[in-house]
Amino acid sequence: MFIPPPLAHPASDPVRDWAESGVVALTGRADGPPIVPPGRAATLARAMASWISDVSALGGRRIDVDGAGLLSERAAFTGFRRRGDVSLGGSCRLLPTADGWAAVSCARPDDPALLGAMVSDVVDEDDPWPVVGDWVGRHSGAELAQRAALVSVAAGPVVRASTPPLPLMPLHPRPVDGLLVVDFSALWAGPLCAHLLGLAGARVVKVETPDRPDGARRGNAAFYRLLHAGHESVVLDPAATEGRRALAALVAAADIVIEASRPRALAGFGLDAAAVVGRGGTWVSITAAGRSADRIGFGDDLSASAGLIARDVSGPVFIGDALADPLTGVTAAALAMSAPADGSGQLWDLSMSDLVASTLTDDPVPKPSLSAGRWVVQTASGVVPIAEPRARVAAGRAPESGVDTSSVLQSLGIAAP
């Protein structure tokens, strides 16, 4: 069965893909109309999901998900709605710089202090934005990026690449039914990748450490359950010799490893991506800007700083909900469901910012209008209603942290620490 690579026959109606994705409803200001985003991110997401569906069918477990709909799915659970230059969740802002605009995130408990260090001033822990906004407005985007990197703040100027990078494309189709996926990721992009592989029949083992549980466990419980239902949960301590040994053995048994942190994190545990690839395994590395960069980032700031923003008369606004995350997650799953034709291993170096940038175009986008009290938009194939975000139903329950540690290690013949 021949499966054409995604975008081998590009969809001719990206505006329809956006309209049906739920993202348009999340883009714009709270008191204004929805805005159709630029580019082809929704089209790419649909193409990757189509690949996943076709390849999963080869393994006897066809899954059908709308890749475009995945881009807005979290908002269907949280109820968040468009807020203009403030991200849906409120943790990221679009701020004017001395020479343009920048996206700055304050998502982690330590971020107010780090933002204070970035601007060399004392900031209010509950509302750092007045001080941060004043500093950002007096400095260039390049200065902001340099300071943010020094203190590990997720922030960067809004800069669209003059030559968009090419998106990574899957290789030879490889069903994953029965394969072992070891997932070190957290939050959204990596877990969405693992979720889709699990739906396609892979055995997914989520790995956390005692002091670094997945922060999404503190988020929307129903959305977390959707992404982790049917998976197994292992907690191992890399600070202990036996914990590091068990981690190494778990990775050695894996067919696919997913990481969504800077490479030095897992390397510090003694885990070697090159060794996994060398024995024929797949290593999916999801980073803010590639494995060679030391940048950190989250879905909202990475999307905006890569140039994926919309504008109205008042300035730039965010596109959807942390769009770099779900776009990366569905792409990573499609990549993992492929392999070199010769059976060798593969390292997928997946830069979230490059992936977003690869979808941008200069194609004009129409403005939605009201028809019978509902927002609609003219597309190449006719008038299409602006869809709201839609939620899928979780197929089971998500495991409690570490509940499967002993059983997983025993099933793989690994001595428990």
Q: Give yes or no for residue 296 having a pLDDT over 70.
A: yes
Residue 228 scores a pLDDT above 80:
yes
d(CA 51, CA 101): 36
Instruction: Please give the average per-residue pLDDT across 375-396, as a whole number.
Output: 95
pLDDT digits (tens, 9 = 90+) for 346-356: 999 999 999 99
Residue 269 DSSP symbol:
T
Q: Is the residue at 73 inside a domain?
A: yes
Averaged pLDDT score across all residues of the chain: 95
For the chain, the domain total comes to: 1
The β-bridge partners of 95 are 102
Give the domain extent around 74: 14-82+170-411
- Would you give the distance in Å from CA 346 to the centre of its chain? 20
Residue 365: pLDDT band (50, 70, 90) is very high
Q: What is the pLDDT of residues 253-285, one digit of tens each?
A: 999 999 999 898 898 888 999 999 999 999 999
pLDDT at 383 over 60: yes
Q: Residue 382's domain is classified under what CATH number?
A: 3.40.50.10540
Task: Decide if pLDDT at 2 tops 60.
Answer: no
Q: What are phi and psi of 376, to 5 degrees?
A: -135, 165
What confidence score (pLDDT) does residue 110 get? Answer: 95
If one compares 8 and 69, the residue with the highest pLDDT of the two is: 69
Stated as kind and residue range, the H or E segment containing 207 is strand 203-208
Average pLDDT over residues 326-342: 97
User: Given pLDDT bands bounded at 50, 70 and 90, which one contains residue 7?
Assistant: low
Residue 285 lies in a domain: yes
The reply to whether 152 falls in a domain is no
**In the prediction, which pLDDT does 46 show?**
96
Helical axes 189-199 vs 324-336, angle rounded to 10°: 40
Instruction: Note the pLDDT of residue 11.
Output: 56
Question: Percentage of the chain with pLDDT > 70?
Answer: 98
* Average of per-residue pLDDT across 83-99: 98
Asked whether 78 and 87 are in contact (CB, 8 A), the reply is: no
Is 165 part of any domain? no
Using the structure block, give the residue that is written with the tokens 């998502």.
Answer: 107
Residue 146 lies in a domain: no
Please state the rounded mean pLDDT for residues 304-316.
Answer: 97
Q: Which of 9-18, 72-81, 224-233, 246-255 has the lowest mean pLDDT?
A: 9-18
Range of lowest pLDDT (165-174, 351-360, 402-411): 165-174
Specify if 39 maps to a domain.
yes
Q: Kindly state the average pLDDT of the residues 389-407.
A: 95
pLDDT digits (tens, 9 = 90+) for 45-85: 999 999 999 999 998 889 999 999 999 999 999 999 999 99
Residue 414 has pLDDT above 90, yes or no: yes
Q: Average pLDDT in the 329-344 region?
A: 97
Provide mean pLDDT across the span 199-223.
Answer: 95
Closest of 388, 359, 363 to residue 47, by C-alpha = 359
Q: Are 354 and 292 in contact (CB under 8 A)?
A: no
The mean per-residue pLDDT over the stretch 320-329 comes to: 98
Write down the pTM of the prediction.
0.96
Residue 96 forms part of a structural domain = no
E strands, 98-177, are 100-105, 155-157, 172-173
Q: Is 406 left (phi over 0), alpha (psi -120 to 50) or beta?
A: alpha
At 107-155, the pLDDT tens digits run 999 999 999 999 999 999 999 999 999 999 999 999 999 999 999 999 9
Phi, psi (deg, nearest 5) at residue 25: -65, -20
Confidence of residue 9 (pLDDT cuts 50, 70, 90): low
Structure tokens at 79: 């109820």
Looking at the predicted structure, is the pLDDT value of residue 394 above 70?
yes
At 92 the pLDDT is 98
Say what percent of the chain tops pLDDT 90. Answer: 91
Residue 10: its pLDDT value, please? 54
43 inside domain: yes
Q: CA–CA separation, 265 vs 314, rounded Å?
A: 41
pLDDT at 185 over 80: yes
Q: What is the mean pLDDT of residues 357-380?
A: 96
